[in-house]
Amino acid sequence: MTVLPAVQAELASATDLLLATAASLSDADVAAPSLLPGWTRGHVLAHLAGNARSHLRLLTWARTGVETPQYPSLEARTAEIEAAAARPAARHLADLADSAARLAAAIRDLPAAAWPAPVRGMRPPSHPAWYVLVRRLREVGMHHVDLDAGYGPRDWPETFVHRELHDLRRSWPYDRSTVSEVVLTGEPGQRWQNLGQGPAVQGRPADMLAWLTGRSDGEGVTLVPAGQPSPPGDGGALLPEPPPWLTMPAPADLPATPPKDYP
């Protein structure tokens, strides 16, 4: 048994929630701004549908051994989103549901021997095909929040938060860090030390993930007072800008074979 069935189940659940949100949007809702600068909700929905198709291409690469780029180019990706963004809500929902169903079928039918196959996104490093599921789950979870339609960071499942923080830590941009330490409060707590220059910050896992990924202005995240390990902050001091997120699409040293658990 590997981690794949559990991640498949998580992805199916996250997709169902996303589709329910999309189904609740009117044409006016879709044309309204999202939380992403310069993007309407229609842009977010168009990106999510196109992203499902892009991950389907990566699984085709893994299955056939023929290099199939995730996107033809960054320009082509942008043009596809712009061309589809202004569509009515019903068309967005249909495209999102269809692309998600096609990806789910490809995941279900991919031969076991193909999961370790190396594939590559638009940026290095390459990663084994099984990590496509984690990347797609990330897209669904983050962009569901970006729709600004009732689903927020505190709705993220604990397993999603734990995995995303794990991968964020393994891909930390030390040379561009704005904090020196991250303290995750709650049970069990964690400390990330020697991250770079800047203050120490603390917060519960979902709040910290939201801030580090640009999905919040820092609600629930505070500075750790100097000389103290992890006391509650008063929220009075200003947080720095979070360090760059997703500088790598995947950690560099993933196991080729789907592991029993991840992380």
Rounded average pLDDT per 10-residue block, the chain, 263 residues? 97 98 98 98 98 98 97 96 98 98 98 98 95 98 98 98 97 96 92 96 97 97 72 60 95 96 95
Kindly state whether residues 11 and 140 are assigned to the same domain: yes
Instruction: Give the model's pLDDT for residue 52.
Output: 98
Alpha-carbon span 37 to 18, nearest angstrom: 20
Kindly state whether residues 129 and 189 are assigned to the same domain: no
* Own/partner pairs, 213-221, CB within 8 angstroms, 24+ separation: 213/142, 213/164, 213/168, 213/242, 213/245, 213/246, 214/242, 214/245, 215/35, 215/142, 215/145, 215/146, 215/153, 216/153
Domain end call among 151, 182, 197:
151
- CA-nearest of 96, 87, 104, 75 to 11 is 104
Instruction: Give the model's pLDDT for residue 160.
Output: 98
* Own/partner pairs, 111-120, CB within 8 angstroms, 24+ separation: 111/63, 114/59, 114/62, 114/63, 115/4, 115/62, 115/257, 115/258, 116/256, 116/257, 116/258, 117/61, 117/62, 117/63, 117/65, 118/256, 119/58, 119/59, 119/61, 119/62, 119/70, 120/69, 120/70
Within a domain: 164: yes
Instruction: Give the model's pLDDT for residue 233.
Output: 41
Kindly state whether residues 48 and 91 are assigned to the same domain: yes
Within a domain: 241: no
Within a domain: 8: yes
Instruction: Give the model's pLDDT for residue 225.
Output: 80
Kindly state whether residues 39 and 107 are assigned to the same domain: yes
**CATH number assigned to the domain comprising residue 8:** 1.20.120.450
Within a domain: 170: yes
Domain end call among 151, 178, 208:
151
Domain span at residue 174 reads 160-223
Domain end call among 131, 151, 171:
151
Within a domain: 212: yes
Kindly state whether residues 76 and 48 are assigned to the same domain: yes
Instruction: Give the model's pLDDT for residue 226.
Output: 63
**CATH number assigned to the domain comprising residue 183:** 3.30.1050
Instruction: Give the model's pLDDT for residue 230.
Output: 43
Kindly state whether residues 144 and 207 are assigned to the same domain: no
Kindly state whether residues 139 and 18 are assigned to the same domain: yes
**In total, how many domains does the chain have?**
2
Kindly state whether residues 29 and 102 are assigned to the same domain: yes
Within a domain: 85: yes
Kindly state whether residues 106 and 183 are assigned to the same domain: no
Kindly state whether residues 147 and 172 are assigned to the same domain: no
